[in-house]
Amino acid sequence: MAWTREDMATLAGRDLQDGQYVNLGIGIPTLVANHLPEGVRVTLQSENGLLGIGPFPFEGEEDADLINAGKQTVTAQPGSSFFDSATSFAMIRGGHVQTAILGALQVSGHGDLANWQIPGKLVKGMGGAMDLVAGTPHVIVLTEHVSKDGTPKIVTHCDLPLTGQRCVDKIITDLAVFDVTEDGLVLRAHCADTNIDDLRAVTGAPFAVDLDPEFVGP
């Protein structure tokens, strides 16, 4: 069995430190909020103007004026603040938000990320992703290892329009965990039901192997 979305969120959560300011993207990254290691508390930033995202509201208490960047109704934690979009991106571009976790259409062995457009097919836009990867010191990508048609999402060179260049520090897929280094990808862990040869077959970029001996599966 490959890792589930929850497993991937758990693995990403292990990368966060107590007290950090973190921005979570839409989809699997959002799950990280519910999969933090014990004793780790982070403050979640939502780029539409909230620092200190709380849990979803109780039924009947949802408020159209209180949403996250995925347009979901949320609540605000005690100690949170609201601000305008320019201030929000001062936090992001200025490097005050310490970790960003987001999804990918493609990610390269050197940490280039493409996640906002498939020319002629998918139009959505980059939203805040370009600012997040440009400004945040630590960028984690959470993605399925291969796309629905089986093609690798980790590639030598992204052919989709880039979101950012050499901006990704870590890639967590449903099969493996890679660090992105100056020299390219380093495999740090993989799920129990795969091996390095199989991983090479579904990974479009070369990688070195330096398995973390302390790694315990999620």
Partner 1 sequence: MTKLRLSATELVAAHVFDGATVAVGGFGLSGNPTDLIHALRDSGAKDLTIVSNNMGVDGKGLGLLIENKQVTKVVSSYVGENKLFAEEFLSGALEVEFAPQGTLAERMRAGGAGIAGFFTKTGVGTPVAEGKQMQVFDGEEFVLERGIVADLSLVKAHRGDAEGNLVYRHTARNFNPLVATCGRVTIAEVEVYEGETYIDPDIVVTPGIFVQHVVLATPRVKDIEQRTVRPRPEGKA
Least separation in angstroms between CB 180 and partner 1: 15
| Torsion (CA) 123, 128, 131, 136 in degrees, nearest 10 | -130
Q: Could you tell me the two tokens for 124?
A: 């959505």
Nearer to partner 1 among residue 11 and residue 139 (C-beta)? 139
Provide the 10 A C-beta neighbour count for residue 90.
Answer: 14
Place of tokens 């996250």: 68
Nearer to partner 1 among residue 49 and residue 184 (C-beta)? 49
The answer to whether 141 and 172 have CB atoms below 8 angstroms apart is yes
Q: Could you tell me the two tokens for 207?
A: 């990688």
Binding site for partner 1 (CB under 8 A): 46-50, 55-74, 76, 82-86, 88-89, 92-93, 112, 116-117, 120, 123-131, 134-135, 161-166
Least separation in angstroms between CB 134 and partner 1: 4
Least separation in angstroms between CB 123 and partner 1: 5
Least separation in angstroms between CB 172 and partner 1: 23
Would you call 59 a catalytic residue per the annotation? Answer: no
User: CA angle, 142 as apex, 141 and 143 as ends, to 5°?
Assistant: 115
Active site residue: 47, 144, 182, 214, which one?
Answer: 47
Exposed / middle / buried, residue 213 (Cβ in 10 Å: 0-12, 13-18, 19+): exposed
Nearer to partner 1 among residue 19 and residue 94 (C-beta)? 94
Nearer to partner 1 among residue 41 and residue 71 (C-beta)? 71
Residues in the chain: 218
Which residues carry out catalysis? 47
